Amino acid sequence: MSTATERAGRDAGPVPVGERILAPDLARGFALLLVALAHSTGILNRTVPGVDLSPHGGEQVFYLVMFLFVHACALPLFAMMFGYGLVQFVRRQDSLGVPAERTRASLLRRHLGLFVIGAVHGIFLFVGDVLGAFAVVGTVLTVLLLRRGNWAFRGSLVYLLLGGLYLVVLAVQVYPTMSGSSTTDVPAPVDTTAAIATYPESIVDRLTDWPGSTLVLLTTILFAWIGAWAAKQRILDEPEKHRTLLRWGAIGGFTVAIAGALPMALTAAGLAGPDAELAGAAKQLYEGAGLFGAVGYASVFGLIGMRLSRAKRDPHTIPPVAALVALGQRSLTFYLFQSVCWVILLTHYGLALGERTSSPAYTALVCAFSVWLVSLLGASVLQRYGRRGPVERLIRWFTHGGHRR
């Protein structure tokens, strides 16, 4: 074996903590809070997205915030960071002299492993699993995009532009019909899995529902594509060079996200709503605006990472930052951990906390933050002892064909 090949096989390991870029890990760690809020609310209300059609008092504020900043933003943010990570992986392999063919094979094995984990997760724990879809998305991007020129990545900006124009068309239809006397409800399909009485029955239900859910979630390839473009430009790797873009991304992203989600948020809160025949358009407006909210969140964490990197103190010695980074580095493990918690805490065959409390909103809020805080603690403990998350270790096993590298 040549020296170069030996070096590639020996050095293509995980990025040392001190060399990792802060912003993507911070964003992944925070995204898990958004995911926890969205999933727990959906399970407790048995709807997608999670909403109570007759909220009162503080519940109205809760659903207003959920529709403005959480429901439609969580998945795009998670997918963007997935796409960002793919480009980072390829760049690191290239820097270590790993042949392109080996990198490609590693990624394909990695996505096969992710699909297997996603299938187990989707069938046995949570039908809304995204890992199976991410595996397919990652495979497509590996084969068709990652070795292409910048032009292929810039295509994502065309999608972003067209998406923004489509939101304008929807807004022009929806906003003139908004009324405080509207009786329009949020279009929210019932989640049948959440109402199943026994765990074996839930497995049977998820066995048939997970493939369809995965097909629907393949649209996340568009979000991952944008994340890949951002990584190609090193926007979060080198935030100082892109601080103007990041500032505009934060301001513009959240402006579009709030403007797009507001009609549906007001409807969810029972404060106002569009004409009934435009409820579907209002929902499309809110869903499309979520991508821009994700851009806003990613930009904010890029700016935070920039500020932290300027500080004299090592960011990893700041407890809240270190905990969030540790969680972001183990996001797969604690994404699955959340689903275990929902089965135990919220289902009929678990503790059924939703049936013991009077407010799905408050129960979801307490459960989501509790599970997320426990996740922060667990990730911090693993970090303290220098341990990767068990799911990350399994993915690494798939990536390197079962050989330790």
Tell me the backbone φ, ψ of residue 179, rounded to 5 degrees. -150, 140
pLDDT of residue 4: 46
**Beta bridge mates, 47:** 190
State the DSSP code for 10: H
CB 131 within 8 A of CB 144: no
pLDDT of residue 8: 46
pLDDT of residue 15: 60
Number of C-alpha atoms within 13 angstroms, CB side, residue 394?
Answer: 14
> What pLDDT tens digit does each residue of the chain (405 aa) get?
444 444 444 445 566 555 678 999 999 999 999 999 999 999 999 999 999 989 999 999 999 999 999 999 999 999 999 999 999 999 999 999 999 999 999 999 999 999 999 999 999 999 999 999 999 999 999 999 999 988 999 999 999 999 999 999 999 999 999 999 988 999 998 887 877 889 999 999 999 999 999 999 999 999 999 999 999 999 999 999 999 999 999 999 999 999 999 999 999 999 999 999 999 999 999 999 999 999 999 999 999 999 998 887 888 889 999 999 999 999 999 999 999 999 999 999 999 999 899 999 999 999 999 999 999 999 999 999 999 999 999 999 999 875 544
* pTM greater than the 0.85 cutoff: yes
pLDDT of residue 402: 57
Tell me the backbone φ, ψ of residue 190, rounded to 5 degrees. -75, 135
- The residue ranges of every structural domain in the chain are 56-317
- What does the alpha-carbon distance between residue 56 and residue 270 come to, in Å, rounded to a whole number? 8
pLDDT of residue 18: 52
Buried b / exposed e over 296-307, threshold 16 CB at 10 Å, is bbbbbbbbbbbe
